[in-house]
Amino acid sequence: MTTDTREIGWTRDEMARRVAIDIPNGAYVNLGIGIPELVARFVPQGRTLVYHTENGLLGMGPSPEKDKADPELINAGKRHVTALPGAAYFHHADSFAMIRGGHIDLSVLGAMQVACNGDLANWSTGEPDAIPAVGGAMDLVAGVKSVYVITQHCTKNNEPKLVERCTYPLTGRSVVNRIYTELAVIDVTPAGFALVELCPGVDLEYVRSRTGAPLLAR
């Protein structure tokens, strides 16, 4: 996990905390690999959230101290985690029945591109020499009730990740409900991208200048 060095906007931790604020008490939540993993650190006071990891654990807790790590207790990103009181282990078919069967309330995923109709691309650049790897992303977006994306607003080359139409291979069609970037919280609505909240100190025109599709004001 690298530290965010951009001058404007929320840090990665602040983005993760902003996601956590929107998760209701008692929700069953799947966290994807990368920035989404950070969300587990920020459970708002008074709430109990149950984190699901697709490799067979409900009730995932934070990383253990180094000397307490168990190589057979890991998350989807293959990092060491813990099991909280009330946790349960299960096999992969049960885990994806939870996902595909609509039992998981929310999935928080990373993205390469999100289109204004909710299309998500987050598994492949489609380059010929890339090693294709999909993991559980396509099952998650097809089955989980709500999908939140947490991502930097633009790529390292300053290309918008929020676009009219994804140019990378899709993970799913019209699946994203809400996007959290370092600049703003944005909903995907039938009319396209719609601003929910700006990061303090960031103005709407700046966000629009870095977004590849129209962004409706509140």
Partner 1 sequence: MIDKSVPGPAAAVADIRDGASVMIGGFGEAGSPIELIHALIDQGARGLTVISNNTGSGEVGLAALLKAERVSKVICSFPRTANSTVFPDLYRRGKVELELVPQGTLAERIRAGGAGIPAFYTPAAVGTPLAEGKESRVLEGKEYLLEHWLRADFALIKGRCADTHGNVVYNKTARNFGPIMAMAAKVTIVQVNSVVDPGGIDPEVVVTPGIFVDRVVEVPAPQHESELVAAGAVYP
Contacting residues toward partner 1, per CB under 8 A: 53-57, 70-74, 78, 83, 89-93, 95-96, 99-100, 124, 126, 129, 131-139, 142-143, 169-173
CA dist., res. 44 & res. 93, Å (int): 31
Task: With beta carbons less than 8 A apart as the criterion, state whether 193 and 113 touch.
Answer: no
Cβ 111 vs Cβ 212: under 8 Å: no
**Residue 197 is a catalytic residue:** no
Instruction: Enumerate the β-bridge partners of residue 53.
Output: 57
Nearest approach, Cβ of residue 161 and partner 1 (Å):
18
Residue 75 or 152: the one with the smaller Cβ distance to partner 1 is 75
Of the candidates 14, 54, 197, 205, the residue annotated as catalytic is: 54
Nearest distance, CB of residue 183 and partner 1, angstroms: 28
In what order do the strands lie in the sheet containing 146-150? 82-89, 57-61, 50-53, 28-31, 106-109, 146-150, 178-180, 184-189, 192-198, 215-216
Nearer to partner 1, 109 or 185 (CB): 109
Please state the closest distance from residue 135 (CB atom) to partner 1, in A. Answer: 4
Residue found under tokens 């492949």:
124
Q: How far is the CB of 1 from partner 1 (least distance, A)?
A: 13
10 Å CB burial of residue 130 (0-12, 13-18, 19+) is: exposed
Radius of gyration (C-alpha) of the chain in whole angstroms = 17
> Which residue, 126 or 214, is less far from partner 1 as judged by CB?
126
Q: Select 111 or 154, whichever has its Cβ closest to partner 1.
A: 111
The residues annotated with a catalytic role in the active site are: 54
